[in-house]
Structure 1
Amino acid sequence: MATILKVEKIEKYYGNKGNVTKAVDNISFEVEEGELIGIMGPSGSGKTTLLNCIATIDTVTSGHIFIDGEDITSLKSKDIEKFRREKLGFIFQDFNLLDTLTAYENIALALTILREKPSVIDEKVKEVAKKLEILDTLNKFPYQLSGGQKQRVACSRAIVTNPTLILADEPTGALDSKSARMLLEALDNLNKTLNATIAIITHDAFTASYCKRILFVKDGKVFNELIRGTDSRKEFFNKIIEVVTLLGGDSENVL
């Protein structure tokens, strides 16, 4: 199986010599094609900085990140935008939809930027909208949609270009429990049916329990790993809580 993401001894420092903060401290891991992986940790753990480095939004202080075999830490600024557009899909906590565009237009925008033909755009938008059960919302504007519908539109936008890697930053953070469950089941389905490679950044144990593997980040370092294996989602959820408790964390921070 191909390695989609390889993070190799990366570090990210902020500040100057007199006051240096290590947001990411010598982290290494790999993600295989078709994995649904969670990166979990409390606020201030370094998980968002790690995500930003993988997403090419931030640069590393040292180390290397390879996506689909390409070292993104060596890309020139003029090439980063093209790489991000063609290889990465993003799902944000606050949806990041354009209010002046319909759901259809929000999803189609990524394909328009890639200069796809209108007929191809129409086919792809409707295909992903069907998978995420939002066909009947395509002509609506974001203000006419529920939080769950907005996030499924955002999810559709992230996958419509068939990216190499989908990055989801606290994707259920702004959703109620029912909408969160629907979104996570949709991501799980996309992972299984399309073999989509998805990395979810979260502090939430319920969200993490849908993943197949979890890396726990604390103080900028990976301090534990859990693999779901044959466990049910409920059994995996309980193991997540056990890890947080055993390692001295506050379970209230991940629920």
Structure 2
Amino acid sequence: MKNIVSVEKIEKYYGNKGNITKAIDNISFKVDEGEFLGIMGPSGSGKTTLLNCISTIDNVTTGKIIINNKDITALKAKAIEEFRRDELGFIFQDFNLLDTLTAYENIALALTIQNREIPEIDEMIKNVARKLDITELLSKFPFQLSGGQQQRVACARALVTEPSLILADEPTGALDSKSSRLLLESLEKLNKEFHSTILMVTHDSFTASYAHRILFIKDGRIFNELIRGNDTRKEFFNKIIEVVTLLGGDVGNVL
């Protein structure tokens, strides 16, 4: 199976000589094509910093991150912009849809930046809309959509460019329980039916239970790893809760 992400002994420091904080401490792991990986950890554990480094928003202090055979830690600014545009898809907690554009236009924006032709853009949008069952939403503006519908449009925007890796940052954080479940089922569908490779950061055990594998981060290091295997999602959820308890997290916040 093709390797999509290879994180190799990365460290990340903040501050100066008098006050240095090590946010990431010698982390290494790989993500294979078509895998759905979750990353969990308490507040301040380094999971967001890790996501920022993988997403090219931040730089590592030492180590390498290789995505789709490209060492992103060695890329210059312009090359990073092109890489982010062509290889990564983003799903944010607060949707990040533009209020003055329809759902169709929000999805089209990513393709327009890639200088795609209009007929190709139209075909790609209609195709991804069918996959996510949002065809009837394309002509609507964000204010006309529920939170769950907006997040599915955001999923379509992330998927439409056919990125090597989809990065989801607390994707259910702003949703109610019903909308969260619909979104997670959409992510599961993208992963199972279209072999999308997904890396998701979350503090929520229910959300994490949709992943194939989970890395638990504590104090900037990998604390534990869980692989779902043949477990049902409920069985996997219960195992996640056990590890979260060991991590010292607030279980009441993740149920």
Q: TM-score, structure 1 length as denominator?
A: 0.98
Please name the residue that 2:178 is paired with.
178
Report the counterpart of residue 89 of structure 2 in structure 1: 89
Q: State the partner residue of 2:124.
A: 124
Deviates more, 1:237-246 or 1:70-79: 237-246
- Contact 1:42-1:254 within 8 A present in 2 as well: no
- Mapping 1:59-98, distance limit 5 Å: 59-98=59-98
* Deviation by residue 1:206-235 (Cα, 9 ceiling, x = unmatched): 000000000001111111000000000000
> 1:245 offset after TM fit, Å?
1.8
Cα distance in 1, alignment partners of residues 149 and 253 from structure 2? 27
Partner of 2:23: 23
Give the structure 1 partner of residue 108 of structure 2.
108
1:220 corresponding residue in structure 2: 220
Cα deviation, residue 247, structure 1: 4.1
Deviations 1:69-101 (A, max 9, x none): 110000001110000000000000000111111
Residues 92 and 168, structure 2, Cα contact 8 Å, conserved in 1: yes
2:246 paired with 1:246:
yes
Between the aligned partners of 1:253 and 1:218, the Cα distance in structure 2 is 17
| 3-state SS in 1 of match to 2:229 | coil
Q: Which amino acid is the alignment partner of residue 206 of structure 2?
A: F
- How many Å separate the matches in 2 of 1:208 and 1:124? 29
Q: Secondary structure at the match of 2:252?
A: helix
CA–CA separation in structure 2 for the residues paired with 1:114 and 1:4: 22
- Indicate the RMSD between aligned Cα atoms, in angstroms: 0.9
**What amino acid is the match of 2:192?**
K
Give the AA of the match of 2:53.
C
Unaligned stretches of 5+ residues in structure 1: none
Q: Counterparts of 1:247 and 1:14 in 2: how far apart (Å)?
A: 23
**2:26 aligned with 1:53:** no
Cα drift, residue 125 of structure 1: 0.5
Provide the C-alpha distance between the structure 1 equivalents of 2:167 and 2:194, rounded to a whole number of angstroms.
Answer: 16
Which stretches of structure 1, 4 residues or longer, exceed 4 Å deviation after superposition? none
Q: In structure 1, what is the Cα distance between the partners aligned to 2:228 and 2:11?
A: 28
Aligned length: 255
TM-score of the two chains, using structure 2 as the length reference: 0.98
**Hey, what does 2:13 align to over in structure 1?**
13
Aligned residue type for 1:233? R
Residue 193 of structure 2: SS of its match in structure 1?
A: helix
| Alpha-carbon distance, 1:253 to partner | 3.9
Q: CA deviation at 1:249?
A: 3.4
| Partner-residue secondary structure (3-state), 2:104 | helix
Write the letter of the residue equivalent to 1:225: E
How far apart are the structure 2 equivalents of 1:226 and 1:252? 20
Which of 49-58 and 109-118 deviates more?
109-118
CA distances 1:132-181 after superposition (whole Å, capped 9, x unpaired): 11111111111111100110010000000000000000000000000000
**Amino acid aligned to 1:44:** G
Structure 2 stretches lacking a partner, 5+ long: none
Contact 1:128 1:160 in 2 (8 A): yes
Alignment of 1:183-198 (within 5 A): 183-198=183-198
User: What do the CA deviations read for 1:186-224 (whole angstroms, capped 9, x no partner)?
Assistant: 110110111110000000000000000000011111110
Assess if the C-alpha contact under 8 Å between 1:169 and 1:201 holds in 2. yes
> Aligned residue for 1:229?
229
